[in-house]
Amino acid sequence: MGWWGSSSNGDGSSQNDAIGKLDPSLREFLDKESTVEYTPKPPSPTPKEPILSAPPDPIPSPPKTEESKPKVPRESLFPDGRYAHLWKNYEPLSSIEARGKSDQERLSDVVEAYNDRRASVGRVASENCALEVLAVQDCYKSGSYMKKMMLCRDENRAQNRCLEMQAKFLKALGYLNMNNRSPADDEKIQMHADKLYRQMLQQEKMIEQAKKEGLPVPEFQSVISKENLSAAMKGNPLESKEIFLESSGADVPEDTWKGVPAKTRKNYEKSIEKLSPIEREIEKKALEGEIAATRAYSKNVEGAFVEERIHRLKRKEEGKATIGDTIKTWWGW
């Protein structure tokens, strides 16, 4: 019965099921003749529905930290950081030019920057006095015959006073300081100076009106008090509450007069005695700002001289001294 053994190479499960259905006597005979031992297969268990286990809690992903935006210089048109790789090795033109300048050129730059800053005070003051300038022009063009005969004296007087007081307010607010301020900061100082000047004119107008009506003359807080200066810098409305004028007066600090000859100080104090109390205090604040700017300028010039001397000594050690270095050594520089 070799055919039985060869046929057993098929599907074992279907063969065993067929043997189980045979007659018991026939199955016993086949068991004796067959070399393959038959082992009845137990019935396969009925498949049970899988138990659905609860899904595991999702593991919270670590919070994504925002990548710091790459920094780009001010010259870039995209401050959000685009094309930062193109600006990686960027160097401003000013630093490149400064690296190739001589000591004399660096000193000249310091002097020119200070002179330009002083000249810009008059230009900014004229911008703040645009209304007064237009009033003078209108007077000459379409003013009355009497005003033209008087050469528009009132309008010119108002213009000159505006230019003078605006310049003093700019100095009092520190416009002369040669710090690395942005143009926006300079415009803020210009705006605050004009605001303080208009406040002063309003106070003077109220005083004149009180005199005409025979009322007690009001005494206002100084327009350049700490409260008004801080309010002007913050953009808040200025205060004009009445107080005793003597309480707002403040002398120039002694540190400001350090290094100033006594004769110069005495002449200055005499010159401001003729001014009104409001103008006198403005003049003092303007003097403080001007002296502070001059001292900062002196430090910059001194630093330029020290740097030039270091470079000169270095050239001398290397045997590359120039004729100018020799002459400066003779003069004791």
Residue 41 covered by a domain: no
Reading the chain (333 residues) residue by residue, the pLDDT tens digits are: 444 444 444 444 555 556 666 677 767 766 766 655 555 555 555 555 444 445 555 565 555 444 455 577 777 888 888 888 888 888 878 778 777 777 778 888 888 888 999 999 999 999 999 999 999 999 999 989 999 999 999 999 999 999 999 999 999 888 988 777 788 888 999 999 999 999 899 988 998 899 888 888 888 777 877 777 666 666 555 554 444 333 344 555 666 667 778 888 888 888 888 888 888 888 888 888 888 888 888 888 888 888 888 888 888 888 888 887 777 777 776
What per-residue confidence (pLDDT) applies to 223?
Answer: 80
As for how many domains the chain has, the answer is 1
Residue 191 covered by a domain: yes
What per-residue confidence (pLDDT) applies to 158?
Answer: 95
What per-residue confidence (pLDDT) applies to 126?
Answer: 94
Name the CA radius of gyration of the chain, rounded. Answer: 47
For the chain, report the end-to-end CA distance as a whole number of angstroms.
Answer: 128
What per-residue confidence (pLDDT) applies to 245?
Answer: 39
- Alpha-carbon torsion, ordered 150, 152, 155, 159, to 10 deg: -100
Joined tokens for residue 140: 């000459």
Residue 96 covered by a domain: no
Residue 229 covered by a domain: yes
What are residue 242's DSSP bridge partners?
220
What per-residue confidence (pLDDT) applies to 18?
Answer: 63
Residue 193 covered by a domain: yes
Residue 91 covered by a domain: no
What are residue 9's DSSP bridge partners?
none
Residue with tokens 């007081």: 165
Residue 7 covered by a domain: no
The residue count for the chain:
333
Full domain range(s) for residue 227:
103-317
- Alpha-carbon torsion, ordered 124, 129, 130, 136, to 10 deg: -130
What are residue 280's DSSP bridge partners?
none
What per-residue confidence (pLDDT) applies to 46?
Answer: 55
Residue 137 covered by a domain: yes
Residue with tokens 């001059």: 294
What per-residue confidence (pLDDT) applies to 104?
Answer: 79
- Whole-Å CA distances, 113 to 167, 169, 177, 178, 266: 18, 21, 11, 8, 31
What per-residue confidence (pLDDT) applies to 88?
Answer: 82
What per-residue confidence (pLDDT) applies to 168?
Answer: 93
